[in-house]
A and B are shown apart, each in its own frame.
Chain A
Amino acid sequence: MGPFMAVFALVFLAPIAYSIYISLFKTRLIGGTSFVGLENYQQALTDPNFWDGLARVAIFLVVQVPIMLGIALLAALAIDSGRLHAAGFFRITIFLPYAVPAVVAAIMWGFMYGNQFGLVGNINEAFGISIPAPLGPDWILASIGNIVTWEFVGYNMLIFYSALRVIPSSLYEAAEIDGAGQFRIIRSIKLPAIRGALVIATIFSIIGSFQLFTEPSILQKLAPNAITTFFTPNYYAYSLSFNGQQYNYSATIAIIMGLVTMLVAYVIQLRGMRKES
């Protein structure tokens, strides 16, 4: 127990404690460091940039997560149904994007989204049409949602699929004897059986949404004005720290985001697990 606790404290608790500690200070270019108590927190809660970023990831979460999990669930059910030819091929193909590093995926999609020389540009030119610019301010969030969905559908599908595989086949046989159709089996056997997996996948996706960083920071070069320095709270914390040397304030933003994420994940877990027991 001793060694474990030591490692646990050093690796997990120390960084958090340290971040909280430095969030109580303020270092200025003129005047040095001073203790400011909760002033940074007060500032964050009234900072329009922080709320703007938070609102953006909230919208992202509400729209992108259901779409992604819906697609993943459909794919898992389809592959599990046994009615698909070459199910193994589909399983690996849908999972493949997850093996592509997020940075590479963002760069790749960035090239496709380009309306000057990218794929979108080529399509516009070939058909003489004008697709709304995916990297423009109106579509950028949807474009990022598309990348994230592409990356993580396979991962979630695999979670659902493995949960579906452990359902005893005797249940299906019994249901068939009772005259249940495929949809009835899905609704009454499969979905209730994988509830735990659904909740876990939802919680992971929520955390992922709140931590949105890689895709915007890569696409930022291609869509410099549409992606501001406070596009997502994480990106804001990064910008504050690395461009503005506002380390204390950056730590404050990070801690507030950690709390928000924990709170939302906790609520989802409570709601998701309640009916199960």
Chain B
Amino acid sequence: MMYTSRRNLLRLAGAVGVASVLAACGGGDDSGTGGETVSADDVTKALEEGGELLVWSWDTTIAPTAQAFMTKYPKVKINVVNAGTNQDQYVALQNALSAGKGVPDLAHIEYYALSQFSLAKNVADLSGFGASAYKDKFAPGPWNAVSANGGVFGLPLDSGPMVLYYNKEVFDKHGVAVPTTWDEYYEAAKKLHAADPKVYIASDSGDAGTTTSMIWQAGGKPYTVNGTDITINFADAGAQKYTALWQKMIDEKLLSSISGWTDEWFQALGNGTLATLVVGAWMPSNLVSGSPNASGKWRVAPMPQWEKGGTATAENGGSAMSVMEASTRKALAYGFLDYLTAGEGVKTRIDNGAFPATTADLNSPEFQAKEFEYFGGQKINEIFAQSSANVVPGWSYLPYQVYANSIFKDTAGQAYISSTKLADGLKAWQDASVKYGNEQGFTVK
């Protein structure tokens, strides 16, 4: 009853109302350190006994996998709910957590956002469930993203090793070679734009995820996180390599200002006005559905390098599935998680278009030999797998990266529309992130 009346207030008072509900029901959760222990037998027993699980995910490959799982374990019932895509789901999740009601058993959380939930102990530490043994089962980038301080806070669902997607037709038409280094990329950008003023090598209006991934590849480590002690530095050698190149791209107007993920953007990717994309391996299904008219024109190449002959890559996006601490059926939830991310479910998900994080699948001949019609029959998984193996180690995100990314446009984004230099914009982003971190109780320098 209490809850219902609060819900009504919430509607009336909008954001302020949400705040009141959260403040009313919230409260520190600092009970217990280290995870509980659940043995394989416990999990098997839970699966046999059955029960219901609530899973939050926007990934379309989860539902068919859950279906297959339920066929195998008829007593288990899994409800897969789409509670919004990334940021929207995190807001819903935070609200449910604060209200202490409606929290799912399993939630889909992207790598960059995971530490925000693990820090607050909202997600269960799975090291006591036997998840630590999976270290070598997953590619190093994703594994590093789910494990921290001896804990395992989810299992990798997919990964996003970066590659260069390019429109072969556009490159061929203007006689431009596909760039293998960032210097060549810059030269290609100039040549393409000079040959046809409508054509841009890429669009970028400032994206936090892309920027951090680019710095990652260049060897930069802007975030050092040690518990609640954090250092942020966007002036290291890696970041400087990136800003030097990207400043030239911005100054010489070699980047289109079309915002990513808009209709315009997909149209431009389809009609050849945007010649390349440097993003994660999860892109193909988006291209197929968003720019169907470009089928057969696009190809995949390794990510351009900072040094000729290099192989360094970075992760871009990718996500984990985590068992929520509030779940009352953790053993059962882990049973499904195991199936979904490390067991038979991986195959179902790959068949439905997912890009896995499991090394065995990444390296399997069957996976690598798959030819993609959209990419002119190219075996693109070979390049993705190669990229996955070459991710620069040692990267970490902030424990409050969700917020930091949301203010990227206020700071670094200004470099794209004003005379602010990108390096200064990143410094402003750093300062704002430091300020927020300290306000939130971290020690940030």
Interface residues of A (CB under 8 A from B): 10-11, 14-15, 18-19, 21-22, 25, 27-33, 49, 114, 116-117, 136-137, 221-226, 228-230, 237-239, 241-245, 247-248, 250-251, 254
Contacts and interface: CB of A to CB of B under 8 A. Distances in A.
A28 B15 contact: no
Residue in B20, B27, B120 whose Cβ sees the most chain A Cβ within 10 Å: B20
A33 B9 CA distance: 22
A223 B9 CA distance: 33
Given A25-B23, A247-B22, A30 B442 contact: yes
Interface string B213-250: 00000000000000010000000000000000000000
A224 B409 contact: yes
Interface size class of B (residues with CB under 8 A): 35 or more
B441 interface: yes
Contact of A22 (B20, B119, B206, B439): B20
B18 A15 contact: no
A17 B433 CA distance: 32
Contacts of B399: 29
Contact of B26 (A18, A27, A223, A241): A27
Contacts of A11: 12
A244 B9 contact: no
30 contacts: A11-B12, A15-B16, A18-B16, A19-B20, A21-B20, A25-B23, A27-B23, A29-B116, A29-B440, A30-B228, A30-B440, A30-B442, A31-B28, A32-B30, A33-B23, A33-B27, A33-B28, A116-B257, A117-B263, A117-B264, A137-B418, A225-B414, A225-B417, A243-B402, A243-B407, A245-B94, A245-B403, A247-B19, A251-B16, A254-B16
Contacts of A224: 205-206, 259, 409, 413
A33 B28 CA distance: 7
Given A228-B410, A243-B87, A237 B15 contact: yes
A229 B206 CA distance: 14
Contacts of A25: 23
B403 A244 contact: yes
A229 B19 contact: no
A230 B410 contact: yes
Given A28-B440, A116-B258, A222-B259, A248 B23 contact: yes
Contacts of A242: 15, 91
Given A15-B20, A243-B402, A254-B15, A31 B441 contact: yes
B19 to A, nearest CB: 3
Contacts of A225: 205-206, 409, 413-414, 416-417
A15 B413 CA distance: 36
B410 A22 contact: no
B417 A32 contact: no
B259 A221 contact: yes
B19 A29 contact: no
A251 B15 CA distance: 8
B262 interface: yes
A32 B28 contact: yes
A117 B273 CA distance: 11
Contact of A19 (B16, B264, B413): B16
B311 interface: no
A194 B119 CA distance: 61
Residue in A137, A226, A242 whose Cβ sees the most chain B Cβ within 10 Å: A242
B134 to A, nearest CB: 28
